[in-house]
A and B are shown apart, each in its own frame.
Chain A
């Protein structure tokens, strides 16, 4: 009954999710599962970025800050306490709360101004967190970082720890995807799109836009922190690289390649970037020129922007919509011609 009421797109997403859950039964190699976990984690991170950039038009240059805060909060709590599910839950809660609080502060300070102030403040804050992480060695381990233990799983699950983490990250990605999709399709989401297109117009329709911007900034910050938690758990290690600007640029590229304002786009973008990173680096065994895989990746990025100006998902969606409109126009013309003939 519930399945009947579901939209076709929801059924497709769930089917893909189910297929991904069974993927480790086809390829259970350690590196493949690790790669897929990275894809899921960065898909969540990129979706949180899309919520800001794609749906509200807010540019952040320091989104890595939330990712890093999430990773460090969870890692520090689990390292200081005994590795248990309680410490895991507490670490996650602390990460999400700190992420939410920082994004609230950044939003309150700058979102009343033009968007680039938010971009600059988040960049500055990310730099500040990187500095703190480097200097506060007793807690963060400085540039060397630190490893930590995660709770042991009950019974036979412990033997399949990587598979459990794989499923956990996949489930988190699916749940967060549907959660964010719900937000973007709600009245709140429509107001956010309005703000992105013309914030003055939204204000003169009677909306105070500041709370909307701050709210979405907080949600985005919390989701990004959660992706940081998952990242730290998946590698059981954390170092200062989580605050690197490259992490933010990765999220930006994933969102642009996949399609800004689509949510599914960042997932595809994450898969493309993580796969490219892995396979292009591997090509170094064939020829030394591939050691500079970033050059190749740059070429792929340029081609993607040329052939998919709205990102992969955005361009496909536009083409399908145009085809639908053309078909409708054709049907209407045919109908009227038939009427005239009769």
Chain B
């Protein structure tokens, strides 16, 4: 049985006066791709932001590779080996594709160079538009840049928030292919509303509803469970 890389225990997070996450429990095993599912407003994005320290938890514990990172600042958490692709991609529009990649590359060494080459093989468009301002890329290319950027440093875990959002089906296919290759190299937590994408990529799932963990298990089991899908995901 593979070891746990990330564990959230009884996480409570407030945004202003709103109690968004209410005792969220969540565990990710090394090398697996875990999908966070749930309706809009269920708390999926806040869960990722809490892990990253962007919306710190008011109670509970976040453990990464056996270390408590609950109170860590975002830069400290990122330096421990967690990459993050936010919902809005978070790329820097005024910088070129190359500059975006170089900003993300905190240290230039053989390891990051190898990762850069690997990313450019994975997303050849990034190589083509290397000198183009990132703001001029298409939606799909921006998503590819955001994913490649999160992977450029030595990363043990990548959190990806709704990578298929607003993309054409053909581009979603390319993103799925890329994430499949990334998951061979690292552990991934994926937030996704597109269930067909989630079931193709995910090995484990967690369902959040109203800021609480409602269900979890193997993705294959969820595929068969029509009632669960109807109840929490509105499909089936």
Contacts and interface: CB of A to CB of B under 8 A. Distances in A.
Interface of A: 187, 190-191, 193-194, 196-198, 200-209, 261, 321, 325
Interface stretch (B33-41, B62-70, B95-103, B190-198): B95-103
Contacts of A207: 75, 106
B74 A204 contact: yes
A321 B96 CA distance: 13
Nearest to B84: A204
Contacts of A202: 103
Looking at B79, B92, B99, the one whose CB has the most chain A CB atoms below 10 A away is B92
A282 B104 CA distance: 53
Contact of B103 (A203, A205, A321, A325): A205
Nearest to B82: A204
B75 A204 contact: yes
Contacts, number: 62
Contacts of A209: 75
A200 B78 CA distance: 12
Interface of B: 52-54, 73-75, 77-79, 84, 86, 90, 92-95, 99, 102-104, 106, 133, 136, 149, 153
A187 B102 CA distance: 8
B90 A190 contact: no
Contacts of A325: 136
Interface SS of chain A: helix, strand, loop or mixed? Answer: helix
Nearest to A191: B103
A193 B73 CA distance: 21
A321 B136 CA distance: 11
Contact of A203 (B75, B106, B149): B75
A198 B90 contact: yes
Given A200-B54, A201-B86, A204-B54, A194 B103 contact: yes
B93 A197 contact: yes
Q: What are the 5 A-B residue pairs with the smallest beta carbon separation, nearest first? A: A206-B78, A201-B90, A203-B74, A204-B74, A208-B75
Contact of A208 (B53, B73, B99): B73
Given A203-B73, A205-B78, A205-B103, A193 B52 contact: no
Indicate the member of B53, B79, B94, B103 with the most A CB atoms within 10 Å.
B103
B92 A206 contact: no
Given A204-B52, A205-B103, A325-B136, A193 B84 contact: no
Interface centre among A200, A201, A204, A208 (most CB of B within 10 A): A204
Contacts of B99: 190, 193
A203 B104 CA distance: 10
A194 B75 contact: no
Given A190-B102, A190-B103, A205-B103, A197 B74 contact: no
B78 A193 contact: no
B52 A206 contact: no
Nearest to A321: B133
B88 to A, nearest CB: 9
A103 B116 CA distance: 38
B95 A193 contact: yes
A320 to B, nearest CB: 13
A193 to B, nearest CB: 6
Given A193-B95, A200-B74, A325-B136, A205 B54 contact: no
A59 to B, nearest CB: 18
B79 A197 contact: no
